[in-house]
Amino acid sequence: MTFLSPEDKYPQPIVTGTTTVGIVCDGGVVLATESQATMGYLVASHKATKIHKITDHIAMTISGSVADAQQLIRIIRANVNLRRLELGREISVRAVSQLTAVMLFQNRLFPLITMLIVGGVDEEGPHIFTLDPLGSVLEEDKFAATGSGSVIAYGVLEDGYREKMSIDEAVELAKRAVKAARRRDIASGGVIQLAVITKDGIKMEVTD
């Protein structure tokens, strides 16, 4: 994102930041983010929504340009609903990720400045995928982090993650990762937003 004033010779970047986390656990997926939205050194909002529901069993975290991410979310929801009507069934987490990747790649000449974690539960179980602004679907993993605080969050995730951890354990690990980033990354702040996704649906909550 850039801003150009009459006296500026070159566009000046407006730096934004955030921290988002996704964890696969036994029977579900946990997504977590903080809630601060920034424009350079300005805190634009303390209550920005950074976890968005796509279907009853799939959600997405956003980082980067809020406007780009919100527009992309609207388009994805519409296309996913159309695809569900065509197929007559729910579509997989991988399919939603691939659809999102196509949309991002189509805009590669004027990229949408956003990095996403797509997480959910389908017939094959829980999954998370990370996508970059050009639509590259990074390899499916058991945990992921995006945003300016991701380096800090990854340190906590690498240390604390283990296979088949329970949902409660994953929630605590996600909160620890976001809290660590919130303490050290100036662009991350506000309350923690959580989404717990299981075969029964998506449960959203907010915590300190």
**Which residues carry out catalysis?**
18
CB 208 within 8 A of CB 176: no
Question: Amino acid letter at 169?
Answer: E
For 16, list phi and psi in degrees, rounded to 5.
-120, 165
Local structure of residue 147 (DSSP, 8 states): S
CA distances from 1 to 11, 14, 87, 103, 186 (A): 9, 6, 38, 19, 18
CB 119 within 8 A of CB 31: yes
- Residue 119's DSSP bridge partners are 59, 128
- Residue 2's DSSP bridge partners are 13
CB 187 within 8 A of CB 16: yes
Q: What are the DSSP E strand ranges found in the chain?
A: 2-3, 12-13, 20-25, 28-34, 37-39, 42-45, 51-53, 58-64, 114-122, 125-131, 143-146, 192-198, 201-207
